[in-house]
Amino acid sequence: PRVTALVRCALESTGRFLVKVEADVRLAQHAAPWFRPDLVLLDASKTSENEDMNRQLQSEPALKDTPFL
């Protein structure tokens, strides 16, 4: 949570980014079609969870052209 807050603050302080944080893949899948992110950042410390989340999110039509890090 602290790293998430730090990244959010750094990105939003530029005035060029609006950050939407979702810790649950189901909430992220629900938010994606409405939020239309330019980029999805995943927590690298949760490797197996990220693989599942990455697959599920990339299968969303609204995210087909969205880069994932």
Q: Is residue 5 part of a domain?
A: no
Q: Is residue 16 part of a domain?
A: no
Host domain of residue 45: 22-69
pLDDT in tens for each of the 69 residues of the chain? 798 899 999 999 999 999 999 887 788 888 888 888 888 887 767 667 667 777 888 888 888 888 888
Best CA proximity match to 65, nearest among 29, 39, 46: 39
Residue type, 42: L
CB 10 within 8 A of CB 41: no
Q: Is residue 64 part of a domain?
A: yes
Q: Which two tokens stand for residue 36?
A: 């239309």
Distance of alpha carbon 16 from alpha carbon 12, whole angstroms: 7
Q: Is residue 48 part of a domain?
A: yes
Q: Is residue 4 part of a domain?
A: no
- Counting the structural domains of the chain, the total is 1
CB 38 within 8 A of CB 11: no
Q: Which two tokens stand for residue 29?
A: 């899948």
